[in-house]
Amino acid sequence: MNLTSGQLYWPAIQSDQGMPYPKLEEDIACDVLVVGGGIAGTSCAYALHKAGVDTVLVDKRRIGCGSTSANTGLLQYSNDIMLTSCIENFGEQAGVRFYRLGLEALDHLERESSELDVFPDFYRRDSLCFASKTQDVPLLKKEFDALAAHGFPARYLDSCDLNDLFAFEKPAAILTQGDAEVNPFGYARSLALTGHRRGMRIFERTEVRRLASDRSSVTFVTAEGKKIKARKAVLTMGYETQEIQCNSSASLSSTYAIATEPVVAGTISGWPDRCLIWETARPYLYMRRTADERVIVGGLDIDLAEPEERDRRLEGKSKRLLADTIKLFPSLEGIRIDYAWSGTFCSTDDGLPLIGEQDGFPNCYFALIYGGNGMIYSAMASKIIVGLITSGRHADAALFGFDRPTLRKRAFLHS
């Protein structure tokens, strides 16, 4: 599957392109095989290895070179689906738990970042979600009330508060605390490198084509006919999983992003504390700053998955992303785009990822990180997968299972 196109920012600025792991050239065996070397696969493999499980990680490309390379690296416990909608769709206990898991994932990622051999530029940031239009203000206020009632770190800003702090005027906003930014490509690479240095086996350019299962094991056969026998397998091929097992609750679309040229220090006014920014409109604009002083902007998603048409729109979408950014921050007038890219995106009917076992794949677990919070979901998945494999259960597994009842209930931000 053609997952990305254009000029990708993270691979271009990565000074260390990662250890060149070998291609599998012989039959091997392990306790758990993880298929897919993006952020989901590296997170699960690293967590399993830390838990003492003999783990092998394989990818048909190089580590991190699928959808992870197009990730913009905004980490937020707030979600595409607001807490109020989560409560309505999943019930109060499950909806609030889902948001709690987002906060826990951020703390997990912060701790994990500090232990990796290469630091992936993880920094805690506030997030601003502004009302795109006046009609969204009641929705935003209702959301803040729900966040506050359940103890989530957030502050409501009316138009005066917001306009005093930021360069743009909007009718209202929620400022959440405890979110973060990261280099997602670097994070996946560092997870692999750190795990490998501690004994985890990794094979790149190794594509698995066929699998066979019995009661106690699963065997994968690579494109070159080499066999990998494992007690269990974790399939983390992301959106490409739709090609081997089409989940009717998942739908593909396309998204766009740009990274500007570096901004001279002090040029941007009215952007306090380098916070993450997004909005209530759908599709929404979102943006952040980078360690090398660029502005990354993403959005303008379309319900279209054909790579040719997705790519044809890249130039126009990139220009619009830049224009929308300058509207918010007029001090950026004249800035140029250095990188522009598009990517395939997938979401589920209820907005949550798919994690766990699936009929027809004995001894296999899936970690399909569908939705707008990829790294947060990957951190959640790594804990759930470790629990399912090492002890046969995890307290939060049912919320993300393939048989959950909400998969047939379309859940939107605006309920």
What percent of the chain lies above the pLDDT cut of 90? Answer: 75
Res. 412: pLDDT tops 50: no
Candidate from 61-65, 258-262, 335-339 with smallest mean pLDDT = 61-65
What is the reported pLDDT for 411? 39
Task: Tell me what the pLDDT averaged over the chain comes to.
Answer: 91
| Both structure tokens of 198 | 């501690």
Q: What is the pLDDT of residues 178-236, one digit of tens each?
A: 999 999 999 999 999 999 999 999 999 999 988 887 788 999 999 999 999 999 999 99
Candidate from 42-56, 219-233, 348-362 with smallest mean pLDDT = 348-362
What is the reported pLDDT for 363? 92
What is the reported pLDDT for 410? 43
Q: What is the mean pLDDT of residues 240-245?
A: 65
Res. 389: pLDDT tops 90: yes
Provide CB contacts within 8 A for 84, sequence distance 6+.
139, 142, 143, 146, 415
Q: What is the mean pLDDT of residues 139-165?
A: 96
What is the reported pLDDT for 16? 62
Encode burial over 289-313: b for 16+ CB neighbours within 10 A, e otherwise.
Answer: bbeeebbbbbbbbbeebebeebbeb
| Both structure tokens of 43 | 């997170």
- Helices 374-391/39-50 angle, 10° precision: 40
Candidate from 69-78, 87-96, 283-292, 365-374 with smallest mean pLDDT = 365-374
What is the reported pLDDT for 408? 59
Is pLDDT larger for residue 38 or for residue 409?
A: 38
Encode burial over 169-196: b for 16+ CB neighbours within 10 A, e otherwise.
Answer: ebbbbbbbebbbbbbbbbbbbbbbbbbb
Res. 176: pLDDT tops 70: yes
Res. 413: pLDDT tops 70: no
Handedness of CA 243, 368, 179, 127 (dihedral sign): positive
Encode burial over 237-251: b for 16+ CB neighbours within 10 A, e otherwise.
Answer: bbbbbbeeeebebbe
Cβ atoms 415, 88 nearer than 8 A: yes
What is the reported pLDDT for 305? 67
- 0.75 exceeded by pTM: yes
What is the reported pLDDT for 370? 86
What is the reported pLDDT for 250? 72
Res. 414: pLDDT tops 50: no
Q: What is the mean pLDDT of residues 316-329?
A: 96
What percent of the chain lies above the pLDDT cut of 70? Answer: 94
